[in-house]
Structures are given as C-alpha cells and as structure tokens.
Amino acid sequence: MKRWASDIIVDLLHAYELPFAALNPGASYRGLHDSIVNYGGNKPVMMLCQHEETAVQIAHGYAKASGKPMVAILHNLVGLLHANMAIYYAYADRAPVFIIGATGPMDETKRRPRIDWIHTALVQGEAVRAYTKWDYQPTVIDGVPESFARAYGVMMTEPRGPIYMCYDAWLQEQPLERDVPLPPSSAQKVPAPMAPDPGSLEKAANMLAAAKRPVILAEFVGREPAGFQALVELAETLGAPVWDVNARLNFPSRHPLNLSMVKDVFRDADVLLCLDTRDWERATTELVSTTRQVTSVVPAGCKWIDIGFGDLEISSWAMDYQRLAHADLRILADTTLAIPALTSLLKQKVSRDQAQRRRHAAEALGRKARAEWEKEAKQDWDASPITLPRLATEMWNAIKGEDWVLTANTLEDWTRILWDFDKPYRHPGKSLGTATQLGMSLGVALAHREAKRLVVDIQPDGDLMFDAGALWVAAKHRIPMLVVMYNNRAYYNDWEHQIRMAKLRGTPEERAYIGMDMDDPAPDFAALAKSLGWYAEGPIDKPGDLAPALKRAIAKVKAGQPALLDTITQKR
C-alpha cells in the first residue's frame, strides 16, 4: 500500500492518543486531511467547525473538562490569524491544545500562483509565538516525529498551554519513500511533576501553624481532580477559610470553609497562602472602577506564602502574569504534590482545638454572608424580565437530581452561591472573554458526552452572536447540551462602563446604551437554534414559565438532542 508523508503525522496522532480534531477545512493541509480520513480511519475524529476560533475553543473546553488535550487544525496563515484570540485565551487559561497548522510550500517552485504566496509566512509560528508554549515547523519528514514528541511534552508539562506545529503543504503531499521511525512507545511522554523544596515547605507549615487567622487562595489547584479533594483536607486540617478564584473548580461550594466572594475574610488575615494563584489581586482588593483606584483589604503585616509555578509561565509579551505579589515565601512546585505534603506537616503542628477555633470564626462569617445573599435573591422574585437569582434557582431545581456540569458562565456568580458544586467535574472554571463561551462549552460537553452527564451552558446573548454558526457543530456531531440564554439584549458589561463615564463626566446616563444594546431588532435565538438542528423555545420572560420549559428541554437533551431556551433577563 502506497504511503504518504502525512501518514506519519497520523501515526503520531494515534500514538499520542489524541481523540478529536476540530477544524475548518483548507487546502494547505489537504494531504493530512486525506491521511486522517483514509489512512487513519477518521481517527482522530474530525469535527467540522464554521470558524477557526471555534475549533480552538472546542479543544480548549475539552482540555479543561477532561484534563486531556485534543487537536485543532488551522488552514495556513489565514486560519491561524482567524484563531488568534482563541489561542491567546487557551494560553492565559493554561489549556493544553495541540494546534496543527500548515503553510504553502516553502519550496518556491511548488507554489501555486498568488494563493500559495499570500497564504505563506516566514516563519508562520511568529504570529502566535508570544502566547504559545512552543512552535515548530519541520523542514523534512524525518524531523516530524521528534518535534511532535517534544511539542506534546512541552504542552503537557505544567503549567500547561497550547503549542503550534506547522507542516509544509508540499512536505505533507510527498510519497513516503522509506520508513521514518516514531518515538519509542516506552518513552515517557511528559516529565514527572515538580515537587516542593522540603525545607521551604517546612517553613510554610510553621508559618501557617503559628498563624491566628490564615486564609487560602486557590486558582488552578482543581485542574486535577485530586487537587479538589486535597484542598478540602488541607483547609480542614488548618481550619482555614478558602477563597476559590475559580479558574478551575477548586473547592466545594457549600463547604462551611468556602468563603469565596466574602472579602471580609481578608481584613484580619495574618497569613495568606496562595496555591497556584496568578489572580490574587481581585480577591484581596477593592476597586473603584471609574477611577481605577485599587485598595488592599489585607492588613499590612500579613505574611504571604506562594506555592505554584511562579515565573515559569511568564511571557515578555502577554501580561496575563498580572501584578507581582511580593510574597514572604515563594515555593516553586506543583500543588498536586505540594498540598498533600503540606497537609501532612500541618497534621503534626496544628491541634484539633486550634483548627476548630479558626473554623468557627470562618463559619460565622460565611453564615452572615449567605443570609444576605438569600435575602438579595428573593428581591423582585416574580419580576419580568427574569432576575438572575430566580433564573439560577429555577435551573438548580431542574438539574439538581441529574449528574450535571456547568460549562463556563456562572450568571454573575449566582450559581456559585445557590448551586451545590460538590464534585470536581461540576465546573471546569469561570468564563473568559466575549466570543469564547459557546465554543468552549461545546468542548466541555464533548468531554462529558460518553459519561452522559447533563451539560448546561448559561449563554450570554452577545457571546453567541459572535459565532452563532457554532450551534450547528453540536447538532452535526451529536453533542447533547442544554443552553439557557443569559439574554439581557445588550453588551451590558460595557454599558455599565459607559454609565460610569457618564457619572464621572456629567454626560447623560440615558445615552449610555448607544452602541451597546442588542434590540430593534432583538435576535430570535430560538428560531436561529431550530434552523440549525436544535430543540428550542423562547423568548421566555416570565419566571413562572421557566420550570416547565426546563423540564421539556432537559428531556430532549437526555434523548440526545441539544436544546436552547431563550430566557430574557434583567440587565442588573
């Protein structure tokens, strides 16, 4: 049987067990496309997408939800440029995405007139080099296996992130004249995790044991399910409250020590333990958005301990590394190893009475906050359009008996307040920027499809309008999921910013909607979804109609069809 150079790439995709490949088709990888379909038996399974951003976002969501990478394939330079924002968000969110690109022939004599010239760059990876962990463009087929293996290892080494491999179109299309050895199956694909320095960890344990009011911040701890359970044991051993930054689900939402969104927990803290945390500042400061004034709520004498990957993930271009916390003790380590080791040390140093005293103080603060939230949630209960707490409550009542997963958007954190996030897979982490959530949600739903979990996407209207065609992907590839619209008919986050500017400058607040509202005409999301193969209802603006509509939609999802409810919500 005649073989082609692109068959080697397929051999590697199989060897490294990459299950799916999301793509928008293009001639620059026609050789690889043919090899996947005919030589590889459509493995990895190709998933047709309407935009390259969607392809990368599906892989991003899949990686967050499963902990495993998948492939996104991008058509030469233009496909790569289309996907730029999705690649950047995967980098900022530490999602391992194996991005395969292609370029027109680097051999000028093989380039088709014009089209191969405008679709070829020198070097193509430069377009995303500042926000990928590694990129490479092998020049001969013999260079493909080694660079593929290195790319996989770099991608999956913590802190994880996307890589970009670019394959010359002419290289793909060459007959394979000789055997090209693959990496040995016995080779370790990813290095062992980084363990903490024992002396530094002992020092951290002593600081925490001596503290009166320690507080824990966690951001990426829950990227591994074991981290979720390990953090519970650490918090209970120490008797310390936890603020979950929610880049991944790090801590059970109804645990008495979960004080996420309760900033008062920091006001008398004397030791702050940051676990794999970049975004420490939003939790520990108060922001006056209009003037951009940031004020710390942490006492000046509080000691800071940072355990994580520190500057390993820092880029000289993308400032996702955020403001530097001048920690008193910095430990470079994988929290998957560091947390159990720290817990073991603390069990020898913290008495049960000491942990109980701390815990009682934290629980009292939590009860006070929850009482206030419950009161707030009942305000305007029967209002139309629907309030966010009412929508969150009706959804919770409908799904709580199911094995459910929430994809990205947390409905201004009302789901985190009202739902019981009791297992690490319930939520892969908070939503990112506009035009990311539907694609990522498709990836999350794909990751949970085999387990037949009820995957729920609370879908902002502005986000969906960026790539409404992605709805077709779910119908085409049989990805059942429930979409409940968070439809306030506006880009309201920015509308609020314009209100702030109006108040600051004395301009009319009633004009803040200009360039922000999504009305006149209002998009008919239910009709749109139906046209693309979904079950859909709406618009629904009366809260009493929610429960029966949710029941009908969930039945459709459980039967294998994606379903959308267009719910109209209040803007605030």
For the cut 80, the answer to whether the pLDDT of residue 572 exceeds it is no
For residues 406 and 452, membership in a common domain is answered with yes
- Write out the two tokens for 144: 């493909």
- Domain contains 536: yes
Q: Residue 482: name the closest of 458, 462, 463, 499 by CA.
A: 458
Q: Residue 29: name the closest of 170, 138, 128, 148 by CA.
A: 170
- Write out the two tokens for 224: 């591994």
> CA-CA distance, 527 to 529, in Å (whole number)?
5
Structural domain boundaries enclosing 210: 198-365
- Domain contains 183: no
For residues 110 and 218, membership in a common domain is answered with no
- Burial of 69: CB neighbours in 10 Å, binned 0-12, 13-18, 19+: buried
CB 32 within 8 A of CB 102: yes
Query: Predicted confidence band at 315 (pLDDT cuts at 50, 70, 90)?
Result: confident
CB 420 within 8 A of CB 254: yes
CATH at residue 392: 3.40.50.970
For residues 361 and 382, membership in a common domain is answered with no
Q: For the chain, what percent of residues have pLDDT higher than 70?
A: 100
Q: Residue 28: name the closest of 90, 148, 110, 127 by CA.
A: 110
For the cut 80, the answer to whether the pLDDT of residue 335 exceeds it is yes
Q: Which residues lie across from 102 on neighbouring strands?
A: 167
3-state secondary structure 152-190: HHHHHCCCCCCEEEEEEHHHHCCECCCCCCCCCCCCCCC
User: Which pTM was predicted?
Assistant: 0.96
CATH at residue 290: 3.40.50.1220
Query: Predicted confidence band at 251 (pLDDT cuts at 50, 70, 90)?
Result: very high
For residues 383 and 351, membership in a common domain is answered with no
pLDDT at 536: 98
How far out from the chain centre does Cα 557 lie?
A: 23
Q: Which of 333, 365, 397 is the last residue of a domain?
A: 365
Q: Which residues of 475-510 are buried (b: 16+ CB within 10 A; e: fewer)?
A: bebebbbbbbbbbbbbbbeebbebbeeeeeeeeeee
> CA-CA distance, 360 to 363, in Å (whole number)?
5
Q: Dihedrals φ, ψ of 134, to 5°? A: -165, 150
Interior angle at CA 276, CA 275 and CA 279, nearest 5? 100
For residues 412 and 539, membership in a common domain is answered with yes
How far out from the chain centre does Cα 166 lie?
A: 25
**Average pLDDT of the residues in 241-257:** 97
pLDDT at 320: 83
Q: Which of 365, 391, 415 is the last residue of a domain?
A: 365
> CA-CA distance, 77 to 55, in Å (whole number)?
15
Q: Which residues lie across from 543 on neighbouring strands?
A: none
For the segment 538-553, what is each residue's pLDDT rounded down to a tens digit? Answer: 999 999 999 999 999 9
Q: Where does residue 322 fall: left (phi above 0), alpha (psi -120 to 50 degrees), or beta otherwise?
A: left
For residues 315 and 383, membership in a common domain is answered with no
For residues 390 and 455, membership in a common domain is answered with yes
Domains contained in the chain, number: 3
- Write out the two tokens for 195: 């363990």
For residues 386 and 535, membership in a common domain is answered with yes
Q: For the chain, what percent of residues have pLDDT higher than 90?
A: 91
For residues 406 and 510, membership in a common domain is answered with yes
For the segment 470-482, what is each residue's pLDDT rounded down to a tens digit? Answer: 999 999 999 999 9
Q: Which of 309, 340, 365 is the last residue of a domain?
A: 365
- Map residue 542 onto helix, strand or coil: coil
> CA-CA distance, 258 to 232, in Å (whole number)?
10
Residue for token digits 């397929």? 10
For the cut 90, the answer to whether the pLDDT of residue 571 exceeds it is no
For the segment 353-398, what is each residue's pLDDT rounded down to a tens digit? Answer: 999 999 999 999 999 999 999 999 999 999 999 999 999 999 999 9
pLDDT at 316: 80
**Average pLDDT of the residues in 313-330:** 87
For residues 90 and 211, membership in a common domain is answered with no
> CA-CA distance, 564 to 267, in Å (whole number)?
43
For residues 63 and 30, membership in a common domain is answered with yes
- Domain contains 187: no
> CA-CA distance, 464 to 487, in Å (whole number)?
10
pLDDT at 310: 85
pLDDT at 402: 98
- Domain contains 563: yes
For the segment 127-168, what is each residue's pLDDT rounded down to a tens digit? Answer: 999 999 999 999 999 999 999 999 999 999 999 999 999 999
- Domain contains 231: yes
- Domain contains 393: yes
> CA-CA distance, 365 to 387, in Å (whole number)?
26
For residues 264 and 385, membership in a common domain is answered with no
pLDDT at 481: 98
pLDDT at 491: 86
**Average pLDDT of the residues in 420-437:** 95
Q: Residue 139: name the closest of 179, 171, 102, 169 by CA.
A: 171
For the segment 480-527, what is each residue's pLDDT rounded down to a tens digit? Answer: 999 999 999 988 888 889 999 999 999 999 999 899 888 999 999 999
- Map residue 40 onto helix, strand or coil: coil
Q: Residue 215: name the closest of 148, 183, 260, 165 by CA.
A: 260
**Neighbouring residues of 22: CB distance < 8 A, sequence distance ≥ 6:** 47, 49, 54, 55, 56, 58, 59, 70, 71, 72, 73
Length of the chain: 572
Distances (CA, A) of 219 to 231, 232, 348: 11, 14, 26
- Domain contains 29: yes
Q: Which residues lie across from 22 on neighbouring strands?
A: 47, 72
Q: What single DSSP character describes residue 39?
A: I
For the segment 12-62, what is each residue's pLDDT rounded down to a tens digit? Answer: 999 999 999 999 999 999 999 999 999 999 999 999 999 999 999 999 999
- Domain contains 185: no
For the segment 215-235, what is each residue's pLDDT rounded down to a tens digit? Answer: 999 999 999 999 999 999 999
